Amino acid sequence: MGDAMRRVSRRDESGQGILEYILILSFALATSLILMRGMKTALDSGVLLFGAELERDLKTGRTPVSAWKN
């Protein structure tokens, strides 16, 4: 009876390690996607703000066009 219980116990735990790795990987993937979306929003806002300031400066003459050429 004891041997049978040990065999059943081993079968029940055989996929536990792989399942844990899959869960950890899924959590890491979801977290990275959320962080990337936040970074994308922040970068988009920054680029748009910079472009608006540059356009305003060039239209008003505060910054000469030659300042932006290499």
Nearest to 31 by CA among 41, 21, 42, 23: 23
Domain definitions of the chain by residue range: 2-68
pLDDT at position 2: 63
CA dist., res. 6 & res. 14, Å (int): 12
Per-residue buried b or exposed e for 3-32, using 16+ beta carbons within 10 Å of the residue's own CB: eeeeeeeeeeeeeeeeeeeeeeeeeeeeee
* pLDDT per residue as tens, the chain (70 positions): 566 666 655 566 778 889 999 999 999 999 999 999 999 999 999 999 999 988 888 888 777 767 767 6
- Assessment of whether the complete model's pTM goes beyond 0.75: no
